Amino acid sequence: MLAIFFLCLIVLSAVTASIPEDGRLNFTQLAWKYGHRSEEFDVTTEDGYILKLFHITGNEPTKPVFLMHGILDSADTYLLRGKKSIAVNLAEAGYDVWVGNVRGNKYSRRHVKLNPDKNKKKFWNFSLNEMGMYDLPASIDFILNKTGQKKLAAIGHSQGTSSFYVLGSTRPEYNKKISVFISLAPIAYLNDVGPVVAGMMKMWPLISGFFERLGYEGVLEDHSAANQLMQFICSQKELGYDVCGKLGLGAIAGEDSEELEREFFDVVLGHYPAGTSRKAFAHFTQIHNNARFAPYDYGIVKNLFVYKSAAPPAYNLSKATMPIVLLAATNDMLSGIRDVQRLKRELPNVVHYHVMERKEFNHVDYIWGKNIDVYMTPLLRDLLRKFA
Ligand SMILES: *[C@@H]1O[C@H](CO)[C@@H](O)[C@H](O)[C@H]1NC(C)=O
Ligand SMILES: *[C@@H]1O[C@H](CO)[C@@H](O)[C@H](O)[C@H]1NC(C)=O
Ligand SMILES: *[C@@H]1O[C@H](CO)[C@@H](O)[C@H](O)[C@H]1NC(C)=O
Ligand SMILES: *[C@@H]1O[C@H](CO)[C@@H](O)[C@H](O)[C@H]1NC(C)=O
């Protein structure tokens, strides 16, 4: 009976589900489709992870801009809006655009020694902390070396902002390599979040235990069973968009379906989620539960061993002296205004703070919004002109 039901679902999905072309192209193919050549580089971190770094070629290397994606995302995110997207727009404005990927996502599932499928416990033993301490320095040094510049401008979204705050606090020598860091949906604190996000954080031990039992250390990976199921449900013609795009994403990121139309949501499904570690999720739930921006909490006994203190020492944000722009939004259910204001008070060098005018503006409009060319890319170009 159940088998027949699933068979029907599969047949139904084959007929009705549709991932459009842009949902199936990789970074280089998308760049090409929208008029740009892209180079692919492998960057190795101090701790052996091999990251994919993309470069859109054609511009003078004098004005490098480095883009960093959010949680479970990849470099693709900066191209998904095609001609309107941030990467294409900045390249057309003359900037030398570099787009990174953090360890564990679909482009960066590699390590000099460890195999993500065989050495699971070791490979996936990372969180935001390692992204900030190792992935960003390796990518930044690579770009500066290739361009022969002393500084670059950077733009990050969500977790992509958190990793830069970790970088500035833990490796202060990198502050002087960054002319300006533009934070889209800044996250250091995770307390002013929507009720669904708060609920998911509470349920995390349960979800995590479930993944652990299944032997998943990497979660929501590209082509994983969980992803296929989600894609299957969310790309259904009739209800997929309403259930996943409006309700689901709306509850997590803030509802703004006007900016995330059905056709585009299907493109997003082809690229997102792109995988991260269970530990990276756990780390964010700790940041929420403890109301502290601090490294991973192993529990008292192991903390004493790892940090020489019962609790991990909070990241010292006053060491993150790079010039920082904070862009926030009132309908963002992940990066709440109160959290951003707390961050603003603790960062020593915020050069600009701006709350997006549109009151429906949510967590993903910065990168995926339909009118990104009206409210985002002109703003980014202004900010780069002024501060980079
Ligand atoms: C993207 O696709 C092109 C064409 O199939 C391929 O040559 C390239 O290696 C792919 N890049 C990545 C990073 O997957
Ligand atoms: C994970 O990393 C922590 C901190 O570096 C270390 O103490 C721990 O032993 C590692 N766990 C595994 C399974 O490698
Ligand atoms: C880049 O790195 C290479 C190899 O380490 C080094 O020889 C070269 O001088 C560096 N270039 C710049 C501009 O720093
Ligand atoms: C944080 O960093 C600042 C600037 O380097 C320093 O003065 C301060 O003592 C540090 N705070 C802690 C708690 O380590």
Domains of the chain with bracketed CATH: 2-387 (3.40.50.1820)
Catalytic residue flag (residue 363): yes
Q: What is the rounded average pLDDT for all residues in the chain?
A: 94
Angle at 272 between CA 269 and CA 276, to 5 degrees: 155
Q: What are phi and psi of 276, to 5 degrees?
A: -160, -170
Peptide bond into 20 cis (omega under 30): no
> How many angstroms does the Cα of residue 202 sit away from the middle of ligand 4?
32
What is the pLDDT, as a whole number, of residue 223?
84
Alpha carbon nearest to ligand 2 atom 4, residue = 306
Q: CB under 8 Å to 243, separation ≥6 — which residues?
A: 233, 234
pTM of the predicted model as reported, rounded to 2 decimal places: 0.95
Res 73: pLDDT: 98
Is the minimum distance from the CB of 150 to ligand 3 under 6 angstroms? no
Instruction: State the amino acid at position 372 in one-letter form.
Output: I
Q: Which of 171, 318, 321 to mutate to test the pocket of ligand 4 (most atoms within 8 A of CB)?
A: 318
Residue 205, CB-side half-sphere exposure with 13 Å CA sphere: 3
Cβ neighbours around 98 below 10 Å, total = 27
Task: Give the ligand at the shortest distance from the Cα of 101.
Answer: 1
Give the model confidence (pLDDT) of 323-344 as tens digits: 999 999 999 999 999 999 999 9
Strand 324-328 relative to strand 350-355, pairing? parallel
Q: Which residue ranges have their beta carbon within 6 Å of ligand 1?
A: 26, 28-29, 40, 52, 107
Residue nearest to atom 1 of ligand 4 (CA): 316
* pLDDT surpassing 70 at residue 15: no
Give the pLDDT band of residue 16 (cuts 50, 70, 90).
Answer: very low
Among protein residues, the one with the nearest Cα to ligand 3's atom 13 is 148
Distances (CA, A) of 144 to 152, 165, 208, 324, 383: 7, 20, 38, 19, 21
Q: How far apart are the C-alpha atoms of 331 and 353, rounded to whole Å?
A: 16
Report residue 96 CA to chain centroid gap.
21
Ramachandran bin of 185, using left for φ above 0, alpha for ψ from -120 to 50, beta for the remaining angles = left
Question: Which pair of structure tokens corresponds to residue 70?
Answer: 């959010």
Count helices and strands in the chain by DSSP H and E runs: 19, 11
Residue 318 beta carbon below 6 angstroms from any ligand 4 atom: yes
Q: Which residues contact 234 (CB under 8 A, 6 or more apart)?
A: 240, 241, 243, 244, 245, 248, 265, 269
Angstrom distance (rounded) from CA 306 to CA 218: 23
**Is there an atom of ligand 3 within 6 Å of 148 CB?**
yes
The per-residue pLDDT for 380 is 98
Give the closest residue (by CA) to ligand 4 atom 13. 316
CB 306 near ligand 2, within 6 Å: yes
pLDDT-derived band at 238 (thresholds 50, 70, 90) equals confident
- Among 158, 169, 183, 257, which one carries the catalytic annotation? 158
**Does the annotation count 139 as an active-site position?**
no
Confidence (pLDDT) at 98: 98
Q: How many CB atoms lie within 10 A of CB 224?
A: 15
Dump pLDDT digits (tens) for 154-165: 999 999 999 999
Residue with tokens 């944000």: 317
With 50 as the cut, is the pLDDT of residue 67 above it? Answer: yes
pLDDT tens string 276-303: 999 999 999 999 999 999 999 999 999 9
Q: Which helix (H) or strand (E) holds 384?
A: helix 377-387
